[in-house]
Amino acid sequence: MKLSKNELNDHYEFYVDNCTGDEIPISFEEWASEYQNDLEAIMGEDDLFEQQSTLPTKVLHLIAKHGGEHGDDFSIQSCRSLAAALRPIGYVFDYSLDAVPYQLRRLKA
């Protein structure tokens, strides 16, 4: 999956705006290369949001807790909160600038 220069710029701005604490953003060129490589690898994996019957109850509970009754009412803040809650139990996902989570997957050991 290749993103256009404009899409990459939007995603990079989001990355820079969300750097925390002492984190120094990397250059656009370095970030774009890493992001594109990561995106291609991620898109080759199954999205567990689309296979919820395979997920542990704890993960389903967290999705519902952060995404509303049906797990589909997300904001940027609730996406961040869900990501923080899932990482310690071995799951990560991405989310779009309009707060749509996607590509839920297990962390690789």
What are the pLDDT digits (tens) for 49-90?
Answer: 888 888 999 999 999 998 866 667 888 999 999 999 999 999
Mean pLDDT of all residues in 3-29:
79
For 34-89, the three-class secondary structure string (H helix, E strand, C coil) is HHHHHHHHHHCCCCHHHCHHHCCHHHHHHHHHHHCCCCCCCCHHHHHHHHHHHHHH
- Residue 93 DSSP one-character state: E
Residue whose tokens read 């589909």? 72
Distance CA 4, CA 108 (A): 28
Q: What is the pLDDT of residue 3?
A: 66
